[in-house]
Amino acid sequence: MTATEIASLRDYVSHDHPVVSLYLDVDGARFPRRGDYEAEFSFLVHEARRRARQELGLGKDQEEALGAGLSALGEYLALEFEREGARGLVVFSCRQEDFWRVILLKQPVENKLLVDFKPRIAPLVESLSGYEHFCVLLTNKEMARIFHAYDGELAERSDILDQVPKRHNQGGWEQNKLQRWHEKEVRIHLKKTSDVTFDFFRAERFDHFAVGISDELWPELEKVLHPYLKERLAGRFNVDINANINEVEAKLFSIEEEERRRETQELLDSLGPELEAGKNYVGGLDDVLAAVNERRVDLLIAERGFSRTGRKCNACSTVSFGEETCPNCRLDMTPLTDVVEEAKELAVRQDARLITVPPGHPALKQAGGIAARLRY
């Protein structure tokens, strides 16, 4: 999943044809059999149709098209879908416009089946955030490999490395001379590797950096690593230099998860004082919705499962918890089953980050379960 693909999903708007967005938890640990998540899907279908009827005001043709689209999705799940180790499945589909996109995620997603005239991308963007832009360097004393991860997709970029050749047999040298020669070669190799990685950083501006290196060699690399790279170091791991890309991906995934946990914890720790200062953050549904309407949200943080009914203006997308008439254009607003979900969708379309946390954090609880960091 690349930023361009996300942007193309975000910009896709159908013309009068309902677009279905399916998020399904297909984690093999919890749903070992196909029938398990098929049952979940059937359960979601009923509720999705009810909500679409209420919120989108579909005509008879549109209702029928939606029904056919949902049946096709059910058939796909029953007959075609192969899990292949994925834990989350995302499908966007609009049959009338031949629009069909399947995305397999390494992370589980919360089950949702949403109908709108555009793909509902908020849960996808949330799943992928924190996995944005990583550089992974593998190195030993003689060789190096470099990988680039962007929006969860890892690719090897060792083509940019000019590798130090393998050591030749230096028969006849005294042992200590050979040792010194070898140590010098290793230093040259690590310096070169570090320089190329820094050039790569200047070209790609990745956010985080991870290194696969032995504990023994790490202090040597650390000595020559550019401060910008050290600053971005998210983790270090042991791996064979010839590891295949899946092994590297698994190592990276746990570093990313750890990085995400750390960031979320930092955010939560600062939330109380920030809300009290009342400058950069707002708390509570009314203020958060106001900030969303003003397009000021930079980050939205909510308790898992936090949802409220509300309303939306179909003309200008204003969302509200209490109003029945749009304060912006004075039109009647449409009732929504979940105004929080709508706010999240609007927020990601304003390039905001979303973070969902388990309920129970004191500052977030005091804010009523939802808060937002403002852009200005």
What distance in Å separates the CA atoms of residue 341 and residue 360, rounded to the nearest whole number? 20
Reported for 310-318, long-range contacts at CB under 8 A and 24+ positions apart, including other chains, are 310/335, 310/336, 310/338, 310/339, 310/340, 310/342, 311/335, 311/336, 311/339, 312/55, 312/336, 312/339, 312/342, 317/346, 318/293
Interior angle at CA 163, CA 162 and CA 169, nearest 5? 145
313 lines the binding site for Zn ion (CB under 5 A): yes
Span from 65-73, 224-232, 296-304, 318-326 in contact with Zn ion (CB under 5 A): 318-326
For helices 60-75 and 34-56, give the axis angle rounded to 10 degrees.
170
290 lines the binding site for Zn ion (CB under 5 A): no
326 lines the binding site for Zn ion (CB under 5 A): yes
> In the complex with Zn ion, which residue's Cβ is closer, 129 or 318?
318
In the complex, least distance from residue 54 CB atom to Zn ion, rounded to whole angstroms = 19
In the complex, least distance from residue 11 CB atom to Zn ion, rounded to whole angstroms = 22
316 lines the binding site for Zn ion (CB under 5 A): yes
318 lines the binding site for Zn ion (CB under 5 A): yes
Site track 327-356 with Zn ion (rule: CB under 5 A), x = hit: -xx---------------------------
Cβ atoms of 21 and 112 within 8 Å: the answer is yes
In the complex, least distance from residue 348 CB atom to Zn ion, rounded to whole angstroms = 20
In the complex, least distance from residue 315 CB atom to Zn ion, rounded to whole angstroms = 5
In the complex, least distance from residue 331 CB atom to Zn ion, rounded to whole angstroms = 6
Q: Which element (helix H / strand E) includes 43?
A: helix 34-56
Span from 43-51, 178-186, 228-236, 313-321 in contact with Zn ion (CB under 5 A): 313-321
Give the 3-state secondary structure of residue 203.
helix
Span from 38-46, 133-141, 202-210, 325-333 in contact with Zn ion (CB under 5 A): 325-333
Q: How many residues bind Zn ion (CB under 5 A)?
A: 7
Give the 3-state secondary structure of residue 173.
coil
The radius of gyration computed from the CA coordinates of the chain, to the nearest angstrom, equals 25
> In the complex with Zn ion, which residue's Cβ is closer, 250 or 316?
316
What distance in Å separates the CA atoms of residue 191 and residue 188, rounded to the nearest whole number? 5
Contacting positions for Zn ion (CB under 5 A): 313, 315-316, 318, 326, 328-329
